[in-house]
Amino acid sequence: MRSKIVAGNWKMNKNLSETETLLAELAAKLPDTNAEVMVAPTYINLIGATRCLENSTIEVIAQNMHFAESGAFTGEISADMLLSIGVNTAIIGHSERRAYFGETDAILAKKVVTALAKNIRVLFCFGEELEDRKSGNHFAVVESQLKNALFSLDASVWSKIVLAYEPVWAIGTGETASPEQAQEMHAFIRKTITEAYTTKIADQVSILYGGSVKPGNATEIFSKPDVDGGLIGGASLVADDFVAIIKAI
């Protein structure tokens, strides 16, 4: 059985005291759930967050990491640095990293290889832009993003990969993919993985949906058979909303 996961990507939001306050509230209100719950605060608050959540099942994860082991990469964070503070999962390939920081499929492929070599679990994001969907290219775009960054990997590492399909047009816009659109794409992703690897791998990988998931639409999106959870932006910054989304799964 693949894992159900609800992850909050806090992006560039919340200073240290706000982080502590939100995490204390989340930890106190966390419902009983079989799903894995994760939060991704900004880098400088990762240590503080891991301390706040020492007695909680909520996992602290990173929003990004560099592909190099160490060295002259001003402003960057390595896999070993994350591991040294107890962070074992990293988001890689978020569309904001691709759009604003020039992260190409080739760069992302290197990041994924490094993360997996260090035994860091990868939460890999991808998804089409509005023009791709309008022109009917969304399946081809998603397939090429997966192929370019992931399909050279050995089958054995796929147990350390979680996928997050995030259509760019649905991120922070209030517009979500319909549950049917999400299901259609998630089923396509699973089929693509089956073709590149095996049905077993495709069936075991968790595929999250991201893009304006809110308490009001989470239940319907999560009810789809190939949607294994969500990567939540804005709504993860409000404890009651994030908790409601966790309850929805």
Task: State yes or no: is 175 an active-site residue.
Answer: no
Token pair recorded at residue 5: 């996961």
Interaction site with ligand 13P (CB under 6 A): 9, 94, 166, 171-172, 210-213, 231-235
Nearest approach, Cβ of 188 to ligand 13P (angstroms)?
20
Q: Among the options 96, 138, 166, 186, which is catalytic?
A: 166
Report the residue number whose CB is nearest to ligand 13P: 233
Nearest approach, Cβ of 94 to ligand 13P (angstroms)?
6
Task: State yes or no: is 59 an active-site residue.
Answer: no
**Residue closer to ligand 13P, measured from CB, 68 or 146:** 146
By three-state DSSP, how is residue 209 classified? strand
Token pair recorded at residue 28: 């106190």
**Residue closer to ligand 13P, measured from CB, 13 or 148:** 13
Q: Among the options 36, 59, 66, 94, which is catalytic?
A: 94
Angle made by CA atoms 86, 43, 69, in degrees to the nearest 5: 65
Burial of residue 226 (CB within 10 Å: 0-12, 13-18, 19+) is buried
**Residue closer to ligand 13P, measured from CB, 13 or 192:** 13
**Residue closer to ligand 13P, measured from CB, 19 or 64:** 64
Instruction: List beta partners, residue 92.
Output: 124
Nearest approach, Cβ of 234 to ligand 13P (angstroms)?
4
Nearest approach, Cβ of 74 to ligand 13P (angstroms)?
25
Q: Do residues 124 and 92 lie in contact, with contact meaning Cβ atoms separated by under 8 Å? A: yes
Q: Active-site positions?
A: 94, 166
